Amino acid sequence: MKKLVMGADHAGYALKDKIKATLSERGYEIIDVGTFSAESCKYPLIAHDLCKTITDGKAELGILICGTGVGMSMCANKHKGIRAACTSDTFSARLTRMHNDANVLCFGERVVGYGLAMELVDAFIETEFEGGRHAERVSLINAIENEDFDALK
């Protein structure tokens, strides 16, 4: 079973805790990087801690929740080795794993409710990277990230 890391700001705190409880009941090991209250916090720091947990090899996949999911995804995608996707539909959540080998799912508590959030999480964590023709595209994403622009020719 995959080890997951979760993080949220104050706008996503309540939904994070509900999802965390559900995943824990299912037997997933969850690393929670905060926040731990509805008090205002600096979401880029939460995103950073989550991404570091993944790049350090302590978790395979991450889930970030804020008001919309957009701010968290912007922060997460600044980290080398992170491919974060902000989604609010299960088709995108599934295909971002299958085609983009995304390792962080982002969404907003103000955008999706608990039921849809769990569908997004399930689609994301239960889908494997398809590889094949998609592997070359992911390697091009990595080349851009590494500023290896010769690889893009």
The CATH number of residue 136's host domain is 3.40.1400.10
Catalytic annotation, pick one of 41, 48, 99, 134: 99
Structural domain tally of the chain?
Answer: 1
Are 104 and 85 in contact, with CB atoms under 8 Å apart? yes
The whole-model pTM stands at: 0.96
Catalytic hit among 66, 75, 86, 106: 66
For 2-146, strand residue ranges (E) read 3-8, 29-32, 61-66, 84-86, 104-108
Q: Please confirm, yes or no, whether 66 is among the known catalytic residues.
A: yes
pLDDT of the chain, 153 residues: tens digit per residue: 789 999 999 999 999 999 999 999 999 999 999 999 999 999 999 999 999 999 999 999 999 999 999 999 999 999 999 999 999 999 999 999 999 999 999 999 999 999 999 999 999 999 999 999 999 999 999 999 998 988 888
Domain, as residue range, for 93:
3-152
What pLDDT was estimated at residue 2?
84
Report the C-alpha gap between 4 and 89 in whole angstroms.
20
* pLDDT of res. 153: 85
Closest by CA to 99, choosing from 54, 146, 135, 148, is: 135
DSSP line for 116-153: HHHHHHHHHHHPPP--THHHHHHHHHHHHHTT-GGGG-
The yes-or-no answer on residue 75 being catalytic is no
Q: What Å distances lie between residue 140 and 5, 63, 82, 100, 127, CA to CA?
A: 26, 24, 14, 11, 22
Number of separate helices (H) and strands (E) present in the chain: 6, 5
Query: Which residue is associated with the tokens 């995108």?
Result: 92
